[in-house]
Chains A and B, each alone.
Chain A
Amino acid sequence: MTSILTRYVARALLAPVLIVSVGILVKGYADVGDGFAAGVVAALALLLQYVAFGTDAVEHALPIRWAPGIAIAGLAIAVLVFAVPMAFGEPPLEHAPPAGEEPVHLGSLELITAVVFDVGVFLLVIGAVGTIIGSLVDPDREAP
């Protein structure tokens, strides 16, 4: 069992770390960071929970069994961003809006399809790391 300090810090950090990771994701185009970094930050939060509370508690509290699904969804989003332009006769992975056109702003956030691609990367990294951690910490458990 980990010390009470570790557990307290792990619990207190979970929400802020997830918020930071989403921040890194959406601000990636203007500042340091991208979908991969954001995904790893979120995965770190998850890993810290495992180290602090153990497998059962984490799986009870967090939707860890969805991790493979999240990874597949992430890849699907990235593939969609890749493939959808082809339906409009553009080369694959052609991002919108095109160069020279001002994107829609939400505050300082710019709505461009490249960010959607990054969201796919983000989900994939969380899902893949979640899957790997879930398998590593409890390799013997029967799959449901």
Chain B
Amino acid sequence: MSASAIAAVAVAAVAFVATWAAWAAGGFAVDVPWAPAWDLRLSLELDGLGLLYALLAAGVGVLVFAYASAYVPRHLAHEGRPRREEARLHGAMALFLVSMLGLVLARDLVLLFVFWDLTAIASWLLIGFDRANRSARLSALMALLVTTITAVLLLVAILVLRAEYGTTQIDELIAVARPGWAVALAGALIAAAALAKSAQAPLHFWLPRAMAAPTPVSAYLHSAAMVAAGVFLVSRAHPLLALEPALLDGLLAIGLLSIAVGGLLALWATDLKRLLAYSTVSQYGYVVVMLGVGGAAGAAGACLYVLAHALAKSALFMTAGAVTEATGRRELPRLGGLARRMPLLAAGSGAAVATLAALPLTLGFFKDELFFHAAAERGTWLAVAAVASAALTLAYLGRFWGGVFLGRSDAEVRPVPRRLVWPVVALGTLVVAGGIAPGPFAALAEDGAAVTAGGPAPVDVAYHLDGRTENVMALAAWLAGALLLVARPRLQGALSALARAGEAVGPERVYTASLAGLNALSNRIHDVEVRDLRARIAAVLVPASALIALGVVLTPTGGTYAVGPVELEDLPLVLVLAVGALAALATTRPRRHLRLALALSAVGFSLAVVYALLGGADIALVAVLVETLFALLFVGVFSLIPARELRREARRRSTGRTRARNLVIAATSGVVTTLVAWGAFSRPIPDDPAAERYLALADDAHGKDVVTVILADFRGLDTLVEITVVLVAAIAVATLLHGRFRA
């Protein structure tokens, strides 16, 4: 194992143990105000819901990272890439884990939003890990765009809630929120962001594409982490959503749609990982349905479902990776008969499949029991839909496992490292243990469900050998699933037609078309604006002048545009301004570049003198320095350009039309600027309480130069942001010119 792999596993293991220990010690909370004026707090707290998702992210993380330590070096070797790139993947995985932990612990919506976007960025790095592969890059971009554009909806929801209730703390919001337009709007936006993250229809299309990522990434992001973040958010905000029953009905509808779309496409797909991706869409549909049912039953079912699904689905993704490593194949029809060659893998993934298909003696049996219970409580129609969903799940999972491990094929099986197998076995053992002794798992789900339901939500799991509704529904589902599995070859035509229809008119087409449209629009604007430098300047100056002129016309101008008396003591100022004006006029004359640069500097230096005369010593100093810097930079840059080129450029004459156009643009912007400057300077000076306060407080800040005190103390945050921009600009320049930033 490389050092980076060990570090990633260690991070996950420490996170797992620390979360567990913190919970055992009675919880954990941090609350630091970081922008008190806006009441923004760095508040993290571990509750039952956070515990469930944190343990999943960290625990599955340990196994997947261990798997990755064996998988990624082989993957890089297949692609002929250097082994050191492994560190990038492990680093991004660890970043993802940490963002996920932050997300589930955050109690402030703004903080939650920050972690939400961090997970999106980490997922972009991970999905696009094979950066030489165009389809991987496009898939990464798709996942990033779908999840971050919808994340903006989450931000809007946060602002709506803050405007209405004056807080972004989740607990306070839940306490004060009442049904109304604000909750309805914010709830809908939150749900939209969350459902996009959980790859629910119709925004499910990014998930199968994201299978371009290396298998460990899929095993982590699309079982226990990224898609789980979506349903986590719905669970976290559920007390808010539950205020508007229409929102829950919407969840129910989208969940059912996702179950159907994901399930049918999983039944159709032949690529191992794509099949599992569609299955994830469908399985999170179950969770969304249960959150839509709501109440104690729905919350309990959702939490146990997330737990069982994350364990089993990561095992299945890792199985797909191990199978492809062993045989070099990833299509179901070309695989088969691996049970004899890879018995441990077959057993481990068999347990995982059994869990997802809800067979007895696995943890999954109880997840479906709760699902059936919640559905039957809601109504007969949902009970029927639930049985159909479970049958579909059984059918495509049976097809997956049977297609890989049963039957026969001509595939040559190479031995794979043990670390590609034992994580699957460990997860398989875990879900079987959960089927025999579900107590600890139920307790974990119960603590989580209590948060979602806003009250006790018992996770009541046990085997009952009687004719209760759930058992009848389960039997019906197995029977129907088995029939579906047998009948599947006959359905192939219909399923292919469905998949083709989805490709032809589905949401992915909308995504591609809107992306292409935006790109074309941006190209058009770019062509218009950047044809040459003058056109670009005109594109800024002319609209700006028009807008400002409009502002001048619309603003009342009483008392302005006066001409005051000019005293003798103003003589120096007038002289300097005259020099500046002459210099400005002089810039229109020279044809040689150096002279032009010097004339421009002359304008700048005269303005610096004006500042100094008006008492702005600090501004004058900076103006002098910046002018000097630019003069020197001009000299330096001109010395890099061959003199011949400079002379040729200087000799160029512009056509009459260009000159006329330049004249109009210059005159327009000049006249408008004059009007504004005149209006602004002749306006009566308003009282500025802020300025007075700055002056009064400068002493308390131990400063005698108020400008410096403002920059470093009163408005220090602004300065910090500005210098960050300076650094980013430097990095951009160095990267554009050098191709890299040498730190």
Contact = CB atoms under 8 A, between A and B. Distances in A.
Do A and B actually bind?
A: yes
Interface of A: 28-37, 40-41, 43-44, 47-48, 50-51, 65, 68-69, 71-72, 74-75, 78-79, 82, 86, 89, 91-93, 95, 97, 99-100, 103, 110, 112, 114-115, 117-118, 120-121, 124-125, 127-129, 131-137, 139, 141, 143-144
Range, interface on chain B: 35 or more
A76 B714 CA distance: 20
B729 A128 contact: yes
B635 A31 contact: no
A143 B742 contact: yes
Contacts of A118: 708, 711-712
24 contacts: A29-B712, A30-B704, A34-B618, A34-B705, A35-B712, A36-B711, A37-B621, A41-B625, A44-B625, A47-B633, A51-B632, A69-B743, A82-B717, A92-B35, A93-B716, A93-B717, A95-B712, A117-B713, A118-B708, A118-B712, A129-B730, A132-B730, A137-B636, A143-B738
B701 interface: yes
Contacts of B697: 99
A79 B315 CA distance: 43
B733 A33 contact: no
Contacts of B716: 82, 93, 114, 117
B709 A32 contact: no
B724 interface: yes
B205 to A, nearest CB: 40
A32 B717 contact: no
B727 A124 contact: yes
A33 B712 contact: no
A114 B712 contact: yes
B707 A34 contact: yes
Contacts of B633: 47, 133, 136
Interface of B: 32-36, 617-618, 621-622, 625-626, 628-629, 632-633, 635-637, 639-640, 697, 700-705, 707-709, 711-713, 716-717, 719-720, 723-724, 726-727, 729-731, 733-734, 737-743
What 8 A-B pairs have minimum CB-CB distances, sorted nearest first? A99-B700, A128-B730, A139-B737, A34-B708, A135-B737, A40-B625, A32-B617, A114-B712
A29 B730 contact: no
B738 A135 contact: yes
Contacts of B727: 71-72, 74-75, 124, 127-128
Nearest to A34: B708
Task: Give the residue among B36, B640, B727, B740 with the most A Cβ atoms within 10 A.
Answer: B727
A74 B723 contact: yes
A121 B708 CA distance: 12
B734 A132 contact: yes
Nearest to B715: A93
Nearest to B635: A51
A49 B504 CA distance: 64
Given A37-B618, A137-B640, A144-B742, 9 more contacts: A28-B705, A37-B625, A40-B626, A75-B724, A75-B727, A78-B719, A86-B32, A115-B712, A143-B742
A135 B635 CA distance: 16
A47 B636 contact: yes
B626 A65 contact: no
Nearest to A74: B723
A19 B740 CA distance: 32
Given A44-B629, A44-B632, A30 B622 contact: no
